[in-house]
Amino acid sequence: MKRNEGTAGRIRILPDHVANQIAAGEVVERPASVVKELVENALDAGAGRIEVRVDRGGKSRIRVSDDGSGMVREDVILCLDRHATSKIQRAEDLREISTLGFRGEALPSIAAVSRLIIETAPEGDENGTRVRALAGRIQAVDDVARRRGTTVDVQNLFLNTPARARFLGSVGVETRAISEVIHAQALANLGTHFLFEVNGRTVLDLPAGRDLGDRIQAIWRDASAAGLIALSTQRGDLCALGVIQRPDRARPGFRRAHLFVNGRPFRDPGILAAADRGYRTTVPEACRAWIFLRLDLPGDAVDINVHPGKAEVRFRNRRQIETFVEASVRETLEGAESAAVFEPKRNLRVVREAGGPPGPGGSPPGPGGTGVGAVTGSGEPPDGDHQTHLFRPQPDREDGSGAEEAFLPAAPRPALLQVHNSFILAETRDGLIIVDQHAAHERVLFERIMERFDTESGAGQRLLFPLTLQLTRQEVEVVLSVTGLLRTLGFEVEPFGTDALLVQSVPSPHRYFDAERCLREMVEELAHGSELMQSARNQNERVAMSYACKAAIKAGQSLSPEEMQELFDRLFATELPYHDIHGRPTVVRLGLGELERKFGRT
């Protein structure tokens, strides 16, 4: 058979330096990639101090120095060969690797596209080693006097691949990308001192420490006003630690979010979405809170070798991890630390105290755990047909909680005071708290209705004369689609022609309740939507949110002392007492220190 001369002999083995340049494209995308790999190598070497210096966004120079274990001459030469590593010996080792990277895997890729100088010395050696390489080829190996550790100097990145250099961003863009790498590594490694210099100017100097909050504030000046609170939860062998933002401080648009698994920074929109679900009904739909979350998992629960730059990971049981993250955030938002304050705390360390038992008579304690909110005096109701409870009695929470440690009262029975018929004030050990009565009642009603959907049917009051509501056909159809849920609330409705409803019974959540107005406003919201409806996960939540908002007592409504007491007791027996369903605070704290500052006593 005659050979086709036009197609024969096209496949060739590439020279090593060309193969290295191609491999570099997977690892070395930009200067920030170089910094990430070199900093991870330094951390794997046990560095207690890492210095990163860059010029012109890393395009002209990147210098990373550490005081780690260093390398002997043979190792520093070998580390510039592809597939040379001290981290693994067998393929099975990839499943259990605990280091951040392979010393020697990134270095040949970086050397292939730059002018590279490595200086290193191990502990106890009189002389260190300096290796110079150009475009992947070693130029010289010399002795050098230096202390233990390693310095890698990368100059003229992409000097032999100008097409790649042209696709880099501006100096400012590349510098910001490097900063983000330093931020992530500094947050993941609190025990390491990081120094970051840009064009000879120190941008970050982060001494080693143990507190994540301190490091966050050292990196970002505005963090002290961000309202960050500590998160710490554990379920079996799953552990979550970190800090998250108070709901009242969450804002639309840009948010800071860093995730770590077993000490390794990673990206995962699914985990962030799970954390955001934990904020459900505590922040407006468009707001995204700051999240700094570290997950400590068993080694076989996560695979770190699924991304060339190790920026992504794969979880063996993703649903379990996402559920755990959502529950961790939710549990943190149940605490008193998540309540709004007039001035955010500058110290992010959170110290919890032991909670107290339920209040007298078996009722859930107020915000101090020992009956805060108990009313002194005996005020009379505004009118004669006062009902015993502002809300129908609810069972206590199974865990006996409802009291928040940070709200221990200053006296056994502090007085409650209603201000402008809208806010309720109570003295606490650390100052005072102000409760928005409408927001508080919203939270109580919402959680009560959601529990009722799962456990029982509501009992409405039968009307002597049924109420007729004239609606549009669309609104009638919407109501008929949720008649079962409305019946659970206590509304019994049936169609009356094509554009009207007949209301046979209505609920009576409190003595100020206007059933017709509530139902009309609910129909309007369910049929035409609202910002509140966008945050609901399903039809049950939509109905419960709408009812809670429309049925709650309003601002401007005068409450008797007994009703204020009842509101306090029920609020602090809910799962999330510090946040209403719109994402607004129900409680605002005013610390004693702030009061003293206002009056010049400190």
Which helix (H) or strand (E) element contains residue 155? strand 149-155
What CA–CA distance (Å, rounded) separates 261 from 267? 10
Average pLDDT over residues 429-453: 92
The predicted pLDDT at position 17 comes to: 55
Of 332, 302, 118, 306, which Cα lies nearest the Cα of 227? 332
Angstrom distance (rounded) from CA 367 to CA 529:
35
382 pLDDT band (50/70/90 cuts)? very low
Write the pLDDT tens digit of every residue in 84-127: 454 544 444 445 555 555 444 678 889 989 999 999 999 888 78
Q: How confident is the model at residue 379 (pLDDT cuts 50, 70, 90)?
A: very low
**Residue whose C-alpha is closest to residue 39's, from 321, 356, 264:** 264
**pLDDT for position 369:** 36
- 385 or 511, greater pLDDT: 511
pLDDT at residue 19 in the model: 55
Higher pLDDT, 296 or 27: 296
Q: State the average pLDDT over residues 17-24.
A: 52
Residue with more model confidence, 347 or 473: 473
Q: What is the tens place of the pLDDT at every residue in 240-253?
A: 999 999 999 998 88
DSSP 513-562: --HHHHHHHHHHHHHH--HHHHT-SSHHHHHHHHHHHHHSPPTT----HH
Give the C-alpha distances (Å, rounded to integers) separating 325 from 190, 273, 337, 422, 541. Answer: 22, 10, 19, 36, 21
352: left (phi over 0), alpha (psi -120 to 50) or beta: beta
- DSSP for 270-313 reads HHHHHHHHHTTTTS-TTEE--EEEEEE--GGGEE--SSTTS---
Average pLDDT over residues 70-83: 84
Q: What is the spatial distance between Cα 415 and Cα 476, in angstroms, rounded to a whole number?
A: 47
* Predicted local confidence at residue 386, as pLDDT: 37
Query: Looking at the predicted structure, is the pLDDT value of residue 5 above 90?
Result: no
Task: Using the predicted structure, report yes or no on whether residue 70 has a pLDDT greater than 60.
Answer: yes
pTM for the model:
0.75
Among 535, 529, 454, CA closest to 282: 535
Question: Looking at residue 511, what is its pLDDT?
Answer: 87
- Per DSSP, the residues of 224-275 read GGS-EEEEEEEETTEEEEEEEE-GGG-EES---EEEEETTEEE--HHHHHHH
Return the beta strands (E) in 319-408 as ranges. Answer: 340-341
Q: What DSSP character marks residue 496?
A: -
> Is residue 413 scored above 70 in pLDDT?
no
What pLDDT was estimated at residue 549? 94
- Cα R_g (the chain), whole angstroms: 32
Highest mean pLDDT among 323-327, 374-378, 499-503: 323-327
253-262 in b/e form (b: 16+ CB < 10 A) is eebbbbbbbb
Closest CA to 215 of 284, 292, 271: 292
Give the domains, in start order, of the chain with CATH numbers: 16-89+100-206 (3.30.565.10), 212-337 (3.30.230.10), 360-437+557-598 (3.30.1540.20), 459-506+513-551 (3.30.1370.100)
| pLDDT grade for 365, boundaries at 50, 70 and 90 | very low
In which band, very low, low, confident or very high, does the pLDDT at 377 lie, cut at 50, 70 and 90?
very low
Q: How far is CA 484 from its chain centroid?
A: 36
Mean pLDDT score, 569-575: 92
Rounded Cα–Cα distance for residues 273 and 500 (Å): 41
| pLDDT score for 600 | 85
**CA–CA separation, 515 and 491 (whole Å):** 9
- Specify whether the backbone of 479 is left (phi greater than 0), alpha (psi in -120 to 50) or beta: alpha
Q: Is the pLDDT of residue 558 over 60?
A: yes
Provide the pLDDT for residue 383.
42
Start-to-end CA distance of the chain, whole Å, equals 100
3-state secondary structure of 421: coil
State mean pLDDT over 132-136.
Answer: 92
Contact residues for 357 (Cβ-Cβ < 8 A; gap 6+): 365, 369, 400
pLDDT at 185: 96
Any idea which residue has 């719109």 for tokens? 582
| Res 13: pLDDT | 59
Q: What pLDDT, on the 0 to 100 scale, is given for residue 130?
A: 96
In this prediction, residue 302 carries a pLDDT of 87
The token pair at 125 is 């050696």
Tell me the mean pLDDT in the region 395-414: 44
What is residue 199's three-state secondary structure? coil
